[in-house]
Structure 1
Amino acid sequence: MSNEYNYYTPESGPDYNYEQNQEPKKKEKKKMPKLIKVISLALVFGIVASVAFQATNLVADRFLGTTENREVKSVDNTKISQSTGETAKSDIASIAEEVMPSVVSITNLSVQQVQSFFGGIQEQESKSVGSGIIISQNDSELLIITNNHVVEGNETLTVSFVDEESVEAQVKGTDAAKDLAVIAVQTKEIKDTTMDQIKVAALGNSDQLQVGESVIAIGNALGYGQSVTSGIVSATGRELDGIDEKLIQTDAAINPGNSGGALLNANGEVVGINTAKVATDTVEGMGYAIPISSVSDIIENLMNQETKTKVSEAEQGQLGIQGVDVTADSSEMYNMPTGVYVSEVIAGGGAKKAGITKGSVITGINGTSIDGMQALKEQLQYYRAGETVKITVATPEKNGEYAKRDVEVTLGKKS
């Protein structure tokens, strides 16, 4: 049976038996034992392999950029390398650091009527949270853009800045159909230290967004404070029920509380206002934002409206109509504008005197769009009985189309 391994046995020494009178043979050089040869070849191979390995690493480091910044320390003649421990800052981290002072948290305290256990109606305080973006500052106010659904139904609005200082805010203007609102904070109410830390956001051009482009979302997710998520533009021109605007779709996480926050491009510019997400068990990564360029005119209009302060319920005026909502579905079905369908005009009321008729659709008040009775009632909270407001009304014509016009209505007292 042959051996599994072959063993090497060294040769014996030279032959010392010579014949007499024989001319001495020339002395042959000793041959190197095979073991020494093998060892020598192994050493040579090891050295060559080591040099080749180091050369390969050097080439790879040069061309593939795999080297790290290292601090070299000398110990006698031996060198060791140690990582410097510096934290690498990504582009996202740099953008977040730059833009976070422009994003605020918004707390909405409202009172809602709910049915009690015994069937009656009782009032219950409700708290909701959202986000906003500082977009401008005038002589007396800091102006913040957010979603209408973040501020609607509020009794009080509180804005919290990047340093966690909080100040009460008032509504400047809203557009329910576009789900937009501008709120204002009096600069005299903001501490100097806070003013030094906050900044006005830079607005980008959402028309130039491309599918696949990187985006970053910043907002007050779940009310825990500012957080950052990132993703890409999944699609543009998307539509959602209840929002009269083509939307940006993104897979950057947009959670409750992010509404009204900023969607940023790679330059740190606001290209969208985060507004909604699809929340089902079968859907993941579908968030939506209002493109900033598409609504810039509306935002400017809301910014230039008079800051609104609510009046007491006893002083609030009324239009003198009864109405029902014209939803987006109803609008499409019956070819009529969204707003409040006037089902009855009350005799002696302001609407009757101004010439508003049954069958008309109220779509706005003092430049603020109205998409239903809730929005109309909310706007009337800012006006006293006896004040005159501009009501935008759409009336049906013989061809079935609706024509819009503005009428001046003097508000009456609540009965």
Structure 2
Amino acid sequence: MNRKKEMKWMEEIQRDEKRLTIMSEEFRNENTEMNETAQNMQKSESDMQEWYMPGSETGKAQSGSSTTTAEAPGNEHHQKKEKTHKPMTTGRKWASVVAMGLVFGLVAGGTMFGVNMAGNRIAGDSGKTAIPQTQTTSGTASSGSSSSSEGGTVADVAANAMPSLVTISTMSVEEMRSFFGGTQQYEVEGAGTGVIVGENDTELLIATNNHVVEGAQSLSVGFIDEASVEGEIKGTDVNNDLAVVAVKLSDIPDDTMNQIKVATIGDSDDMRLGDQVVAIGNALGYGQSVTSGYISAFDRDLTLTDNNGTTITSTGLIQTDAAINSGNSGGALLNMKGELIGINEAKSSTTSTGASVDNIGFAIPIDKAEASLQDLMTQETRSKVDESEASWLGIRGQDVAAEVTQLYGIPSGVVVEEVVSGGPAEDAGLKQGDIITEFDGRTITSMSQLQDVLTYYAAGEKVDIVVERSGNSGYEEQALTITLGSAADAANAK
């Protein structure tokens, strides 16, 4: 009996050992499978990081609803080969699902970034040309000519273009609320860049961004030999963020005149995705600096915000990975022949969600800017009038917020909150609720801008203005002529 029990126990022990052996084998197989799954996940993650890391061969650039694929020049031999994978077990399929989810998240994030470009900050300044250029003569800025061939080096381009670049230093006055109540005025220095684009009988003409010179009480222009001369704002185009600064030829030393020249104007429409470009500008106000990169995309639209909180919507911009930093605004974007193909305007440092980005800069194509610059170059150059001649409009106004314009379609400009009785505005026919959009041909977007413009006009001058007036069928444009009053009379107005 005991022998039979012993045999039975031995058989049960043997069966248990077989079950343990099978379970152990299954465990080893599952452990191996889990290790392979982890390796596949790491490999998938590594592949994705390689695809999106700077310098990768392929990237997607969005413009509107279209998507363009570009390859970085010189990286053709690094193109990825299509990988084939063996059929996956359930564990591998799970790894595949996780990897696909990560890819979708990255691509979706990229798409969202392409749409949400609202977190941008403003970056702070013979070939075919329609901009007037003069022939080289003694004591006259020479007309630009490119010494670089199609395959010129960055150093060649920089050396050829540097005489056409200037630094722009501004001084403006800002009001800030005092800790003890009321407001206090502060002087604020600014720095930007400009490009010499022409000259007339009495002035050297320099292109820059409007946001570089907007609100400036005074500005100075620095040339290649470090000579600094006072400049005046000749004209501004707020909608296109462009401006022209004029410097009197009589104020420029002869030695400086012999070293500077008018930039050679290129054709931005001839540029291709992936073409190499050079950006030059007064980065951080340290002086001219040179960076190089490639054209990343065309027709970019984005909303910019300046230091005063004013929003500017720029359209049709060139995107480049050449570094464009604060102070580069108004500077030159050049092709490899040394021709001006864009005016540097902005960089993107964060997305609307706060994510940081690198190597995304923007420039206004010269083919888009040229017509506006031509118009600005023909305007009368004005200097600020003496305080004894200061003028007065006779209104109290308020900015039309960008949000209001977008939501309700109300024109951008200065809404007249009150017309002072007996003042110049009332005599000209301005009414409460009118929106001032133009003053003597200049686009008006804010009350501070209108006040600044008035400092260039003397009492008694007649000025044409344009207002938008609300009617039965919406806002209608009205043209009025106003005779500016004396600022001294403002204190006596009711």
TM bucket normalised to smaller: 0.7 to 0.9
Matches of 1:356 and 1:211, distance apart in 2: 50
Give the corresponding residue for 1:413. 486
Where do residues 18-97 of structure 1 align in structure 2 (5 Å cutoff)?
A: 91-97=153-159
Query: For 1:25-174, what aligned pairs fall within 5 Å after superposition?
Result: 91-174=153-236
Identify the residue that residue 337 of structure 2 maps to in structure 1. Answer: 267
Is 1:223 the counterpart of 2:285? The answer is yes
1:249 aligns with 2:316: no
CA separation of 1:329/1:236 partners in 2, compared to 1, >3 Å: closer, same or farther?
A: farther
**Per-residue CA distance 1:314-348 (angstroms, 9 max, x = gap):** 53212222222124432222213211122222222
Using CA pairs below 8 Å that are at least 6 residues apart, which structure has the higher relative contact order? 2
Q: Which amino acid aligns with 2:413?
A: G
Between the aligned partners of 2:473 and 2:209, the Cα distance in structure 1 is 36
Cα-to-partner distance string for 1:184-209 (whole Å, 9 max, x where unaligned):
00011111111111000112222333
Provide the secondary structure at the position in 2 that maps to 1:254. coil
- Between the aligned residues of both structures, percent identity stands at 51
Mapped contact 1:229–1:253 kept (Cα < 8 A): yes
- Structure 1 residue 274: Cα displacement: 0.8
Specify whether residues 327 and 290 from structure 1 end up closer, same or farther in structure 2 by C-alpha distance, changes over 3 A only: farther
1:364 paired residue among 430, 438, 442: 438
Partner of 1:300: 374
Give 2:349's aligned residue.
279
Deviations 1:214-261 (A, max 9, x none): 211111001111111111122222222213433221111010110110
Contact preservation (8 Å) 1:104, 1:162:
yes
**Cα gap change, 1:122 to 1:173, in 2 (>3 Å):** same
Please tell me whether the aligned partners of residues 173 and 307 of structure 1 are also in contact (alpha carbons under 8 angstroms).
yes
* Equivalent residue runs for 1:5-20 within 5 Å: none
Deviation for aligned residue 1:90: 5.8
In structure 2, relative to structure 1, the CA distance for the partners of 1:370 and 1:190 (3 Å cut) is same
Distance 1:158 1:323, change over 3 A: same
The equivalences for 1:193-212 within 5 A come to 193-212=255-274
The CA distance in 2 between the partners of 1:217 and 1:327, in whole Å, is: 34
Offset of residue 384 of structure 1: 1.4
Root mean square deviation, CA, Å: 1.8
Question: 325, 331, 342: which one pairs with 2:405?
Answer: 331
Contact 2:152 2:337 (C-alpha < 8 Å) held by counterparts: no
Shift of 1:312: 3.2
**Whole-angstrom CA distance in 1 between matches of 2:314 and 2:401:** 11
Q: Secondary structure of 2:319's partner?
A: strand
Q: Give matches, 1:309-320, under 5 Å.
A: 309-320=383-394
TM-score normalized with structure 2 length: 0.63
Any idea what SS the aligned residue of 2:389 has? coil
Q: Structure 1: which 5+ residue stretches go unaligned?
A: 1-88
Q: 2:416 aligns to what SS in structure 1?
A: strand
CA distance in 2, matches of 1:207, 1:346: 50
Higher normalized helix content (fraction of residues): 2
Secondary structure in structure 2 of the residue aligned to 1:336: coil
Distance change >3 Å, CA 115–CA 237, structure 1 → 2: same
Partner of 1:197, secondary structure, is: coil
The reply on whether 1:236 has 2:236 as its aligned counterpart is no
Mark the runs of 5 or more structure 2 residues left unpaired by the alignment. Answer: 1-150, 304-311
Counterparts of 1:249 and 1:156 in 2: how far apart (Å)? 32
Q: Which runs of 4+ in 1 moved over 6 A?
A: none
Report which of the two structures shows the higher radius of gyration computed on alpha carbons.
1
TM-score normalized with structure 1 length? 0.75
Task: Quickly say closer, same or farther: Cα 1:383–1:252, change in 2 above 3 A.
Answer: same
Aligned residues: 326
Query: Which amino acid is 1:114 matched to?
Result: M
